[in-house]
Amino acid sequence: MKHIPFLILVAACLTGACNNNEENEEPTGNIPPISRTFTEIKKAQWLLGSWKSSTSHGIALESWQVASDSSFTGVSHFIQGKDTVSSESIRLVQDGNDLLYIPTVKNQNNSQPVTFRMTSSTNDQFVFENPAHEYPQKITYTRISSDSLLAVVSGKMDGKENVQQFPMRKLKD
Protein backbone atom coordinates (compact mmCIF):
# COMPACT_ATOMS: atom_id res chain seq x y z
CA MET A 1 0.00 0.00 0.00
CA LYS A 2 2.95 2.34 0.55
CA HIS A 3 3.84 2.05 -3.16
CA ILE A 4 0.47 3.19 -4.56
CA PRO A 5 1.06 6.97 -4.08
CA PHE A 6 4.54 6.57 -5.61
CA LEU A 7 3.07 4.72 -8.64
CA ILE A 8 0.42 7.41 -9.06
CA LEU A 9 3.15 10.09 -8.95
CA VAL A 10 5.27 8.19 -11.54
CA ALA A 11 2.23 7.67 -13.79
CA ALA A 12 1.32 11.35 -13.55
CA CYS A 13 4.89 12.39 -14.40
CA LEU A 14 5.05 10.01 -17.36
CA THR A 15 1.69 11.20 -18.66
CA GLY A 16 2.78 14.82 -18.35
CA ALA A 17 6.07 14.07 -20.06
CA CYS A 18 4.32 12.32 -22.92
CA ASN A 19 1.92 15.22 -23.42
CA ASN A 20 4.73 17.77 -23.32
CA ASN A 21 6.73 15.81 -25.87
CA GLU A 22 3.77 15.66 -28.24
CA GLU A 23 3.27 19.40 -28.07
CA ASN A 24 6.93 20.12 -28.77
CA GLU A 25 7.41 17.65 -31.61
CA GLU A 26 8.15 19.12 -35.04
CA PRO A 27 6.07 17.83 -37.96
CA THR A 28 7.82 15.09 -39.88
CA GLY A 29 8.03 14.52 -43.60
CA ASN A 30 7.03 17.09 -46.20
CA ILE A 31 3.95 18.38 -44.42
CA PRO A 32 3.71 22.16 -44.96
CA PRO A 33 2.79 24.33 -42.00
CA ILE A 34 -0.88 25.23 -41.90
CA SER A 35 -1.61 28.91 -42.40
CA ARG A 36 -4.03 30.21 -39.82
CA THR A 37 -4.12 33.72 -41.24
CA PHE A 38 -6.05 32.82 -44.43
CA THR A 39 -4.63 35.92 -46.11
CA GLU A 40 -5.69 35.11 -49.68
CA ILE A 41 -9.31 34.22 -48.88
CA LYS A 42 -9.60 37.46 -46.87
CA LYS A 43 -8.44 39.43 -49.92
CA ALA A 44 -11.37 37.91 -51.85
CA GLN A 45 -14.09 39.25 -49.54
CA TRP A 46 -15.07 41.80 -52.17
CA LEU A 47 -16.44 38.84 -54.16
CA LEU A 48 -19.13 38.13 -51.53
CA GLY A 49 -22.72 38.88 -52.48
CA SER A 50 -24.80 38.47 -55.63
CA TRP A 51 -23.70 39.57 -59.09
CA LYS A 52 -25.44 39.87 -62.48
CA SER A 53 -24.20 40.13 -66.05
CA SER A 54 -26.53 40.80 -68.97
CA THR A 55 -25.16 39.79 -72.38
CA SER A 56 -26.67 39.39 -75.84
CA HIS A 57 -26.71 35.63 -75.17
CA GLY A 58 -28.46 35.76 -71.81
CA ILE A 59 -28.03 36.58 -68.13
CA ALA A 60 -25.29 35.30 -65.85
CA LEU A 61 -26.02 35.29 -62.12
CA GLU A 62 -23.41 34.49 -59.49
CA SER A 63 -23.68 34.51 -55.68
CA TRP A 64 -20.95 34.04 -53.07
CA GLN A 65 -21.10 33.54 -49.32
CA VAL A 66 -18.72 32.65 -46.49
CA ALA A 67 -18.64 28.94 -45.70
CA SER A 68 -15.84 29.03 -43.10
CA ASP A 69 -12.79 31.09 -42.19
CA SER A 70 -10.91 29.40 -45.06
CA SER A 71 -13.59 28.99 -47.74
CA PHE A 72 -16.41 30.61 -49.69
CA THR A 73 -19.16 28.86 -51.62
CA GLY A 74 -20.67 30.16 -54.80
CA VAL A 75 -23.34 29.29 -57.29
CA SER A 76 -23.53 30.44 -60.89
CA HIS A 77 -26.40 30.21 -63.40
CA PHE A 78 -26.63 31.21 -67.04
CA ILE A 79 -30.17 31.94 -68.21
CA GLN A 80 -31.42 32.30 -71.79
CA GLY A 81 -35.00 33.47 -71.96
CA LYS A 82 -36.79 31.42 -69.31
CA ASP A 83 -34.35 28.49 -69.41
CA THR A 84 -31.36 27.91 -67.16
CA VAL A 85 -28.87 26.55 -69.69
CA SER A 86 -26.01 25.98 -67.26
CA SER A 87 -25.34 26.07 -63.56
CA GLU A 88 -22.40 25.33 -61.36
CA SER A 89 -21.49 25.23 -57.72
CA ILE A 90 -18.14 26.72 -56.77
CA ARG A 91 -15.87 26.48 -53.76
CA LEU A 92 -13.10 28.99 -53.14
CA VAL A 93 -10.76 27.36 -50.63
CA GLN A 94 -7.55 28.50 -49.01
CA ASP A 95 -5.24 25.49 -48.65
CA GLY A 96 -2.08 26.63 -46.87
CA ASN A 97 -0.86 29.59 -48.94
CA ASP A 98 -2.77 28.42 -52.05
CA LEU A 99 -6.20 29.64 -53.06
CA LEU A 100 -8.18 27.07 -55.03
CA TYR A 101 -11.18 27.74 -57.28
CA ILE A 102 -13.18 24.50 -57.51
CA PRO A 103 -16.25 24.52 -59.77
CA THR A 104 -18.58 21.58 -60.26
CA VAL A 105 -20.68 21.83 -63.41
CA LYS A 106 -23.63 19.52 -63.88
CA ASN A 107 -23.25 17.35 -67.01
CA GLN A 108 -19.59 18.31 -67.47
CA ASN A 109 -16.55 16.33 -66.33
CA ASN A 110 -18.90 13.59 -65.11
CA SER A 111 -20.27 16.20 -62.68
CA GLN A 112 -16.96 16.01 -60.78
CA PRO A 113 -15.19 19.12 -59.39
CA VAL A 114 -12.23 20.59 -61.27
CA THR A 115 -9.50 22.44 -59.36
CA PHE A 116 -7.97 25.68 -60.60
CA ARG A 117 -4.98 26.95 -58.61
CA MET A 118 -4.42 30.66 -58.06
CA THR A 119 -1.41 31.73 -60.14
CA SER A 120 -1.46 35.43 -59.27
CA SER A 121 -3.38 37.85 -57.10
CA THR A 122 -3.62 41.46 -56.05
CA ASN A 123 -6.16 43.13 -53.81
CA ASP A 124 -8.35 43.62 -56.91
CA GLN A 125 -7.66 40.54 -59.03
CA PHE A 126 -7.43 36.76 -58.80
CA VAL A 127 -6.17 34.53 -61.60
CA PHE A 128 -6.82 30.78 -61.40
CA GLU A 129 -5.39 28.26 -63.87
CA ASN A 130 -5.58 24.60 -64.74
CA PRO A 131 -3.57 24.00 -67.94
CA ALA A 132 -4.68 20.33 -68.06
CA HIS A 133 -8.39 21.18 -68.21
CA GLU A 134 -10.13 20.94 -71.59
CA TYR A 135 -11.78 24.39 -71.37
CA PRO A 136 -11.38 26.83 -69.78
CA GLN A 137 -7.79 26.78 -68.59
CA LYS A 138 -7.93 30.21 -66.97
CA ILE A 139 -10.50 32.04 -64.82
CA THR A 140 -9.94 35.65 -63.77
CA TYR A 141 -11.92 37.89 -61.43
CA THR A 142 -11.09 41.61 -61.44
CA ARG A 143 -12.74 44.14 -59.15
CA ILE A 144 -13.52 47.31 -61.08
CA SER A 145 -15.27 49.13 -58.22
CA SER A 146 -17.20 48.21 -55.07
CA ASP A 147 -20.23 47.28 -57.17
CA SER A 148 -18.70 45.96 -60.40
CA LEU A 149 -16.31 43.22 -61.45
CA LEU A 150 -15.15 41.51 -64.60
CA ALA A 151 -15.11 37.72 -64.75
CA VAL A 152 -13.12 36.29 -67.66
CA VAL A 153 -13.07 32.65 -68.74
CA SER A 154 -10.36 31.84 -71.29
CA GLY A 155 -8.20 29.19 -72.89
CA LYS A 156 -7.98 27.03 -75.95
CA MET A 157 -11.10 25.35 -77.25
CA ASP A 158 -10.77 23.12 -80.31
CA GLY A 159 -7.23 24.45 -80.79
CA LYS A 160 -8.33 28.10 -80.91
CA GLU A 161 -7.97 30.75 -78.24
CA ASN A 162 -11.35 31.62 -76.73
CA VAL A 163 -12.19 34.41 -74.28
CA GLN A 164 -15.56 35.02 -72.64
CA GLN A 165 -16.01 38.19 -70.60
CA PHE A 166 -18.73 38.77 -68.04
CA PRO A 167 -18.90 42.34 -66.73
CA MET A 168 -20.98 42.04 -63.56
CA ARG A 169 -22.84 44.43 -61.32
CA LYS A 170 -23.45 43.74 -57.65
CA LEU A 171 -27.11 43.27 -56.76
CA LYS A 172 -28.55 45.02 -53.71
CA ASP A 173 -28.97 42.75 -50.69
What are the structural domain ranges in the chain?
Answer: 39-170
Burial grade of 113 (CB within 10 A; 0-12, 13-18, 19 or more): middle
Do residues 47 and 72 lie in contact, with contact meaning Cβ atoms separated by under 8 Å? Answer: yes
Distance CA 139, CA 137 (A): 7
Would you place residue 3 in the very low, low, confident or very high pLDDT band (cuts 50, 70, 90)? very low
Label the pairing between strands 49-55 and 98-105. Answer: unpaired
pLDDT at 36: 52
**What's the farthest any 2 CA atoms get from each other in the chain?**
90
Please name the amino acid found at residue 49.
G
Would you say residue 32 has pLDDT above 50? no
Write the DSSP string, 50-65. Answer: EEEEEETTEEEEEEEE
101-107: average pLDDT: 93
Would you place residue 134 in the very low, low, confident or very high pLDDT band (cuts 50, 70, 90)? very high
Distance CA 122, CA 143 (A): 10
Give me the count of residues in the chain: 173
pLDDT at 16: 38
Higher pLDDT pick, 38 / 73: 73
The CA-CA-CA angle for residues 86, 91, 96, to 5°, reads 155
pLDDT at 107: 84
CA distances from 79 to 41, 85, 125, 169 (A): 29, 6, 26, 16
Would you say residue 2 has pLDDT above 80? no
- Its pTM stands at 0.77
Would you say residue 97 has pLDDT above 50? yes
Do residues 117 and 100 lie in contact, with contact meaning Cβ atoms separated by under 8 Å? Answer: yes
- Protein fold of 39-170: Lipocalin (2.40.128)
Do residues 75 and 92 lie in contact, with contact meaning Cβ atoms separated by under 8 Å? Answer: no
